[in-house]
Amino acid sequence: MTEKVLQGKKNGMLILIGTLLMYVIAVLGLLFGISISYNILGLIIMVICIAYLALGWIVLCGLKVLKPQEALVLTLFGKYIGTLKNEGFYFVNPFCSAINPAARTKLNQSGDVKTKGVNPNEVEMPSKKLSLKIMTLNNAKQKINDCLGNPIEIGIAVTWRITDTAKAVFNVDNYKEFLSLQCDSALRNIVRIYPYDVAPNVDTTGDGHADEGSLRGSSEIVAQRIKEEIQARVEEAGIEIVEARITHLAYAPEIAAVMLQRQQASAIIDARKMIVDGAVGMVEMALERLNENNVVELDEERKAAMVSNLMVVLCGNHDAQPIVNTGSLY
């Protein structure tokens, strides 16, 4: 199905004024016909005026008003005849009907969420108009296993818009639900490729070589791949994916505590390694300075004792408690 935009239909105001004038003429004609009702001409005028007053409102059914960034898909007795786009006051065939299969669908997205102050008990009539604005879809958080099998929770926000109204209405049953399901499916396919954090021997690009790609460290790349995956799936629905962003990323609650301990242990190990490297350098520098200045001559046993004491002082978790030796060094 290809979109066909209807042109030259912005004559709604002219039709409205003409219809109202015809009603005035019909009323005057009815009064005139009553005044000469004894004549056959008067009876004919009365019948015509009454028929118009009873059926003239049908013309008003063809008047359509569109605001900016709105569209109306029209069918005539089941056949697609075209789409009205851009703001304006239109007149079309009064027997045309507007189609919007997603009119009653409410998702967690812009345009579907009621704002504060709106009565929740108020019944809102679904609109048959399609919004051409950029919409934001916040899909529910999903629990997915990453490439290492760790369960994680992830959520995305997808900004999208309709580019082909005919495809959106006729190629899929409900374009909003279709988009939401495709977002879930694409998210699962991409997340399963990446680990939550950098892991050895993991290929996330498909080139056969391990890399450092991860959900936490490569969020921009992951978001771009998610966008491309969704776009490929919703192309037939006439939808353009503007952007996809990760809004929530965390380990699942059942392993979150264990993974936190793992991260803490890794941080402690890295910190200890840095402390030991610094302590060894300080001990080496101390021994070199003592030898250069001939402050004291130490044999190997005393050097070993000095190194041991310095390492304990520099690498300990608590402040050292010095013991003053007032006797001989030996």
Listed residue (163, 102, 108, 154) closest to 127, CA to CA: 102
SS3 271: helix
Task: Decide if 134 is inside a domain.
Answer: yes
Looking at the fold, whether 226 and 198 belong to one and the same domain comes out as yes
pLDDT at 302 over 60: yes
In this model, does residue 328 exceed pLDDT 60?
no
- C-alpha closest to that of 80 among 91, 72, 69, 88: 72
Q: Are residues 224 and 261 in the same domain?
A: no
- 53 close to 60: Cβ distance less than 8 angstroms: no
Res 188 pLDDT > 70 = yes
What is the pLDDT, as a whole number, of residue 123? 47
Residues 228, 159 within the same domain: yes
Task: Supply the pLDDT for residue 200.
Answer: 80
Note whether residue 6 is domain-resident: no
Burial class, 183, CB count within 10 angstroms (exposed 0-12 / middle 13-18 / buried 19+): buried
Judgement on whether residues 76 and 92 belong to the same structural domain of the protein: yes
Per-residue pLDDT tens digits for 232-247:
999 999 999 999 999 9
228 belongs to a structural domain: yes
Whole-number pLDDT of residue 117: 47
| Per-residue pLDDT at 317 | 65
pLDDT in the model for residue 326:
59
**In the predicted structure, residue 214 carries a pLDDT above the cut 50:** yes
Could you give the percent of the chain with pLDDT greater than 90? Answer: 35
Q: Residue 210 belongs to what domain range? A: 130-251
Higher local confidence (pLDDT), 37 or 198:
198
> What one-character DSSP code corresponds to residue 324?
-
Is residue 246 located within the same domain as residue 263?
no
pLDDT of residue 38: 75
Does the residue 82 lie in any domain? yes
State residue 232's pLDDT score.
Answer: 94
Res 115: pLDDT: 46
Mean pLDDT in the chain?
83
Asked if residue 42 lies in contact with residue 35, where contact means CB atoms within 8 angstroms, the answer is: yes
Same domain, 242 and 282: no
Is 166 in contact with 1 (CB distance < 8 Å)? Answer: yes
Determine the Cα angle at 138 with ends 136 and 143, to 5°: 155
pLDDT-wise least confident of 213-227, 254-268, 273-287 = 254-268
CATH of the domain at 191: 3.30.479.30
Mean predicted confidence (pLDDT) in 122-148: 82
Q: Determine, yes or no, domain membership for 279.
A: yes
Task: State residue 16's pLDDT score.
Answer: 92
212 shares its domain with 145: yes
pLDDT tens-place string over residues 30-77: 888 888 877 788 888 889 999 988 998 899 999 999 999 999 999 999
Cα separations in angstroms, 176 against 70, 184, 185, 190: 16, 13, 14, 21
> For residue 330, is pLDDT > 60?
no
**Of 198, 226, 251, which residue is a domain's last?**
251
- Residue (of 140, 176, 137, 141) closest to 157 by Cα position: 137
More confident call, 313 vs 198: 198
Statement: residue 224 has pLDDT above 90: yes
* Secondary structure (H, E, C), 31-47: HHHHHCCCCHHHHHHHH
Among candidate residues 251, 282, 306, the one where a domain is terminated: 251
Using a 10 angstrom Cβ sphere, with 0-12 exposed, 13-18 middle and 19 or more buried, the burial of residue 187 is: buried
Strand partners, 89: 65
pLDDT for residue 184 is more than 80: yes
Supply the pLDDT for residue 56.
Answer: 87
Say how many domains are in the chain: 3
139 plus 246 within the same structural domain = yes
